Structure 1
Amino acid sequence: MSPQPDPRHDIDGDVYVSPRHLASTTGTGDPALAPLLGLGWDLQHDDLGNVYVHAPDRRIRLGYLPEGEDDGLWRINAYTDPFGQPTWGACFNDRCPTEFVHAFTTALAAAYEQGPDTCLARPVPGADDHDPFLAVVPLLAQGWQVDRPRWGVFAVQAPDGHAALEFTTGDLDPEAELSTRDARWQLWAGESVDRPTWYATASTDTPVALLTAVTQCVADPAPLPRWRQDTSSYIQGMAQLTPILPSQPPAPTPLDVQRAAASRRPAALPAPSVPRWSTTSRPALPGPRR
């Protein structure tokens, strides 16, 4: 029997979802925006509630689009020329677990701090730090299996068969990679690639470090907290839901035990106010007769 996660005070949910790739979105974008806003990136929004975040040099742009034209809730693009076509783009749909988006934006913020050009480092097969297949390693380490689901597609599949990371070989349409699921990389979970619960895509030149940050988060064996009422019956049929136990009081210290024992000890009786008779005391005189 696997050990239960330690209860904590700051858990936002009443069940743990395992494996974590079967969890859905948390419904809030703030955690995934925080790494970029922490660098002082510009935040704007429109009248519909869509949010746009720009790097100071405008070479990285993020859109959080709850009122977008499709289910692509998160769209992140990088530009060599701020006025040209994106060099690479990544998309997370509206049901993707927020923790996976947060892993991407955290790695993006770290890369930008090293220098804007780090965010534009192209994958190079066989390179020590830029080999695209390094992104697959965290999943293989957790038992994901190599698969060939379709012609021209290399994939690794989760042990439960409900998630996969796919890499498409050959030439792809750069514009389609940025606006459809026909991208170089596709990560999905659900019943099948045609009916995913959630998906994420990344175009050909997406830096390996950003992809690896996501796969490391997906491969983490720790479950994710969610509210049961926000978990669809479809997910409940595939995932393991473990109730989150209420927080327990801390174990008593030896001093606590001593104080508790002292509080239960009966109080000492007061000393008698009348002295006892001794052998040298005079006998009592008889009282008067009636």
Structure 2
Amino acid sequence: MESDLFTDIDGDVYVSPRYLASTTGTGDPALTPLLDLGWDLQHDDLGNVYVTAPDRRVRLGYLPEGEDDGLWRINAYKDPFGPPTWGACFNDSAPEEVVAAFTTALATAYEQGQDAYLARPVSGTDEHDPFLAIVPLLKQGWEIDRLRSGVFEVQAPDGLAGMECTTGDLDPETELTTRDARWQLWAGKSIVRPAWYATASTDTPVALLTAVTQCVSDPAPLPRWRQDTLSYFKDMARLTPILPSQLSAPTPLDVQRAATSRRPTALPASSVPRWSTTSRPALPGPRR
């Protein structure tokens, strides 16, 4: 049964905390920072979009018709014909603002050169220490919880979001193809059954990780159409009605309608994480 908070509010709303906002279903905000730099855009006949940097060393896939729920996949390469140097993935329920924070930081790093977008994290350095990425979370009251040897998590005060880091050696291929990556950000009731998640492999530049944690921990709410939020975060998020004077066009409902008209199929409501024999159990739900 819905709480009065959800029952009494309809239309456009502000969602707080913002990590409970879910997605509006449009990829434009996250693609724009890269396309503005002149990156090449291609698409297939299924509606999947592929964006490639001019030097062919960074590739992004927006994959609504992919094999699993990894909607956004971003990989970088020292050798354009070799294996990825680092990779990040956002699933199909991740707020596009979080993905846009990552691609905006990536665009900035790309303009600075390979020393920025291929910068390997190094513990103990002033600029590239990977643990600098959790500082924005700690500043907003998130707390560190050591789960087991080699794994710790920074969790939001309400327990509905967290960022997990695994120390020690990890298999590069496993990091790129499962949720068992160096970093995993999640929101929902638990990391085992997240409503949305994002992963980043070992050598993902610190500046890109930090851009994501700054976005996720920002106390400002996000605008959404109420119905988009209800199906994912029922009874979790705090909703505040948006007055017409508070928003410039388009409204969240306008965005939702436009996105629905463009995409070939609706995204599934259930999360279907990537998994292998060594990762957490996959959630039940249809594969695309």
The correspondence of residues 170-185 of structure 1 with structure 2, limited to 5 A, is: 170-185=168-183
Question: C-alpha distance in 1, partners of 2:102/2:26?
Answer: 16
Return the letter of the residue paired with 1:176.
T
Computing the radius of gyration over CA atoms, which structure comes out larger, 1 or 2? Answer: 1
The correspondence of residues 1-290 of structure 1 with structure 2, limited to 5 A, is: 14-247=12-245
Question: C-alpha distance in 2, partners of 1:233/1:91?
Answer: 22
Q: How far off its partner does 1:111 sit?
A: 0.4
Q: Secondary structure at the match of 1:231?
A: helix
Q: How many residues of Structure 1 are paired with residues of Structure 2 in the alignment?
A: 236
Question: C-alpha distance in 1, partners of 2:147/2:35?
Answer: 39
Q: Secondary structure at the match of 1:48?
A: coil
Q: Residue 102 and residue 174 in structure 1: after superposition, are their counterparts in 2 closer, same or farther (change >3 A)?
A: same
Question: C-alpha distance in 2, partners of 1:246/1:179?
Answer: 43
Confirm or deny: 8 A CA contact 2:195 2:232 kept in the other structure. no
TM-score (norm 1): 0.80
Q: How far off its partner does 1:149 sit?
A: 2.4
Question: C-alpha distance in 1, partners of 2:203/2:52?
Answer: 20
TM-score (norm 2): 0.80
Confirm or deny: 8 A CA contact 2:22 2:95 kept in the other structure. yes
Return the letter of the residue paired with 2:69.
D
- Calculate the aligned-residue CA RMSD, in Å: 1.1
Question: C-alpha distance in 2, partners of 1:181/1:154?
Answer: 15
Question: C-alpha distance in 2, partners of 1:31/1:118?
Answer: 22
Q: Secondary structure at the match of 1:218?
A: helix
Q: How far off its partner does 1:171 sit?
A: 1.1
Q: How far off its partner does 1:233 sit?
A: 4.3
Question: C-alpha distance in 1, partners of 2:148/2:233?
Answer: 25
Question: C-alpha distance in 2, partners of 1:182/1:20?
Answer: 25
Question: C-alpha distance in 2, partners of 1:159/1:209?
Answer: 24
Return the letter of the residue paired with 1:110.
T
Q: How far off its partner does 1:150 sit?
A: 3.4
If asked which structure has higher relative contact order (CA below 8 Å, sep 6+), I would say 2
Q: Secondary structure at the match of 1:148?
A: strand
Question: C-alpha distance in 1, partners of 2:165/2:75?
Answer: 19
Question: C-alpha distance in 2, partners of 1:212/1:124?
Answer: 15
Return the letter of the residue paired with 1:140.
L
Match of 2:250 in 1: none
Q: How far off its partner does 1:234 sit?
A: 4.8
Structure 1 stretches lacking a partner, 5+ long: 1-12, 249-290
Question: C-alpha distance in 1, partners of 2:147/2:186?
Answer: 13
Q: Percent identity?
A: 82
